[in-house]
A and B are shown apart, each in its own frame.
Chain A
Amino acid sequence: MEFLIAGDSTLVVRFGKEISEEINQKVRAFRIATEKHKIKGLIELVPTYSTVYVFYDPLVISTKEIIKQLKTIGEEASEAVLPEPNIVEVPVAYGGEHGPDIENVAKAHDLTAKEVIKRHSGTDYLVYMLGFTPGFTFCGGLGDDLATPRIKDPRLKVPAGSVGIAGKQTGLYAISSPGGWQLIGRTTMRFYNPELEPPCPVKAGDYVRLFRFQQKNLKNTEKKSKLQTTRRIIQNGNLKVKQY
């Protein structure tokens, strides 16, 4: 566990420099343990792939003092038992107009689009972090058989709900934004709804279970509206269907 200074009001607690489930477990454990302690002067924690960014008020707690407290928490955290993650089922319409880059991914690996879909939708992906834009979900766990570099010329506008690939990462654009990931599909599930608490159906440490959703036209079906108002979440082995 390393501590780095990022300006006068931020600490970086670093557990590693790569994307790995093991490192991410430490990130999660540390974050949960720190939140429990309620350090005075701590403003916010942002967990990332392998670090936790700690935003604090240096006028309430000195840098030296907060590092001391976080070190202690860090040692406790390594013994912590993590809560069971939720598994969120996510319907994805693959290819066609919803996945304009699926052929890029297929060609890069000598596969057909159908094979890409089969491989991509068959795995549970760990949500490493949320960030970049509201609800953007960063997942890892993509095999070398699908890992593809970002597109050369980032798009100015990626449609909301797009599912993409960037290197070994797979992710979901909850809202429309510029983006450079290879787009292979799109979900109708709202991954960011500020009117709900929580606004995102997943949090870091959860898993997304992508399944192929056959839908010719995403724009007008009754089924689509049902999907948008239902979140299917597996908690502690039990499937909970939440209606909003």
Chain B
Amino acid sequence: MDELAFRLANRIVGNDDNAPALEITMIGPRLEVVRETLVAVTGADLSFAVNGKVAPLYTAIKLNPGDVITFGAIKRGMRSYIAINGGISVPIAMGSASTGLKGQIGGYKGRKLEKGDVLKSKAKSISEVFVGYSVDPSEFTFGAQDGVYRVILGPEDDYFTEKGIETFFNSEYSLSDNCDRMGARLDGPEIEHNEKGAGIVSDGITMGAIQVPAQGYPLVLLKDRGTVGGYTKIGTLCTLDVFRFGQNKPGDKVRFEQIPLEEAQNLLRQMEYKISKVGTKHKIQALTGAKDGDLLRVVIGNESYDVFVEDVE
């Protein structure tokens, strides 16, 4: 759900962005390390600890056989990501390594993890260069304000009254108990439809779409949403804010702010640019054995290159 945290966790331990990792929802597992591993935990603060001692988030930590990872009280957010160097080794199903719980397919045997499960990676060894590598998550907020979610209007905004749209953008909503990876039902002031009503012929639903059924409550559709549905959609969260939204839990309060399409796409551009720098220098160093130096981006025509310039005596 929080793709940004997931990608950062992978890059911090030297993986490709999309290497299979774990998503933890509120209650974390107790994991025992069997082989020397590099681990990074990102996203929510669920009291991540190693051998009983609080351990830092967004940092590559070297663990040895016998080390124990635990989680505890929920301090902030809802979902954490655990990446291990090499990525978690699972078979590919329908082109993906992730678990589809609804279809009982993919990931680790198509189900949630259970006691006794063993997670392996194909990595032969750790890249020492990554040990201790850490990233500051506050550099990845891209202008987001706590509790405010940026929305692009439409595609069925013409099914609502002016009053309805105003209510949507000027009210506080709280997450009800009905929320999971499929979507989050919000409680708050009713949003008014016009004479066109709340129903349409079943149509596609993009990630972050906000449906409003006849009863007037907003329903934010997330990663595991049904692919089609028949309720009118007043707006769509910008992609960046869908990831942030994944850190909300029942009871949390949210507000919506309208932004133009261009701004939302610029946010994506900023995010990709910033992420592309994470771990890149370390990766090159690990590959080439180069010592200290700088990472530069060189643009020639339409192509850009990451160039590592090594300090030489």
Whether chains A and B associate is yes
Chain A interface residues (CB < 8 Å from chain B): 4-10, 12, 17-19, 46, 48-51, 53, 55, 58-59, 63, 129, 131-134, 138, 175, 177, 192, 194, 199
Taking CB atoms, residues of chain A closer than 8 Å to B261 are 5, 8, 63
B201 adjacent to A19 (CB under 8 Å): yes
Partner pick for A132 among B103, B227, B236, B237, CB 8 A cutoff:
B227
Interface residues of B in 217-257 (CB under 8 A from A): 226-229, 233, 236-239
A49 touches B155 (CB 8 A): no
Known contacts A8-B264, A138-B202; 5 further A-B pairs (Cβ under 8 A): A4-B154, A6-B155, A12-B203, A17-B201, A134-B100
For residue B7, give the distance in angstroms from its CB to the closest CB of chain A.
15
Is the beta-carbon distance between A48 and B237 smaller than 8 angstroms? no
B265 CB–A CB distance under 8 Å: yes
Chain B residue at smallest Cβ distance from A12: B155
Is A132 a contact of B208 with CB atoms below 8 Å? Answer: no
Instruction: Identify the closest chain A residue to B102 (Cβ).
Output: A133
Q: Is the beta-carbon distance between B102 and A7 smaller than 8 angstroms?
A: no
Are the CB atoms of B202 and A58 closer together than 8 Å? no
Q: Are B268 and A48 in contact (CB under 8 A)?
A: no
A sample of 23 cross-chain residue pairs with beta-carbon separation below 8 angstroms, ordered by A number, consists of A4-B154, A5-B152, A7-B152, A7-B209, A7-B236, A7-B238, A8-B238, A8-B265, A9-B239, A9-B268, A10-B206, A12-B155, A12-B203, A12-B204, A17-B200, A48-B204, A48-B228, A49-B203, A50-B203, A59-B268, A131-B202, A133-B103, A138-B202
Taking CB atoms, residues of chain A closer than 8 Å to B54 are: none
Whether the pair B204, A7 counts as a contact (CB closer than 8 A) is: no
- Inter-chain contacts of A192 with B (CB < 8 A): 103
Q: By the criterion CB–CB under 8 Å, are A194 and B93 in contact?
A: yes
B interface residue count range (under 10 / 10 to 19 / 20 to 34 / 35 or more): 20 to 34
Per DSSP, chain B at the interface is mixed
CB pair A132 B226 closer than 8 Å: yes
Is B312 in the interface zone, CB < 8 Å from A? no
CA distance A6 to B207 in the complex (A): 9
A8 B239 Cβ-Cβ under 8 A: yes
Report whether B208 and A7 are in contact in the complex, using a CB–CB cutoff of 8 Å.
yes
Taking the closest CB of chain B, its distance from the CB of A17, in whole angstroms, is 6
> Is residue B94 contacting chain A, with contact meaning CB distance below 8 A?
yes
Chain A contacts for B94, CB-based, 8 A: 194, 199
- The docked-state distance in angstroms from the alpha carbon of A50 to that of B200 is 11
Query: For A133, what are the chain B residues with a Cβ–Cβ distance below 8 Å?
Result: 102-103, 226
B100 to A: closest C-beta gap in Å = 8
CB of B201 within 8 A of CB of A6, answer: no
| Cross-chain contact A18 with B226 (CB below 8 angstroms) | no
| Cα separation A95 to B25 with both chains bound (whole Å) | 42
Contact status B203-A4, CB under 8 Å? no
Q: Is the CB of A131 within 8 A of B226?
A: yes
Q: Is B228 a contact partner of A131 (Cβ separation < 8 A)?
A: yes
The reply to whether A55 and B206 contact each other, CB–CB distance below 8 Å, is: yes
Expressed in whole angstroms, the minimum distance between the Cβ of A111 and any Cβ of chain B is 27
Q: Is B269 an interface residue (CB 8 A)?
A: yes
Contact bitstring B114-157, A, C-beta under 8 A = 1, else 0: 00000000000000000000000000000000000000101100
CB of B290 closer than 8 Å to a CB of A: no
Shortest beta-carbon contacts, A-B, top 4 = A53-B204, A7-B236, A131-B228, A8-B264
Q: Please, how many angstroms separate the alpha-carbon atoms of A89 and B93 in the complex?
A: 28
Residues of B within 8 A of A194 (CB): 93-94, 103, 105
Task: Say whether, besides A59-B268, A133-B102, A7 and B229 are in contact (CB < 8 Å).
Answer: no
The reply to whether B154 and A5 contact each other, CB–CB distance below 8 Å, is yes
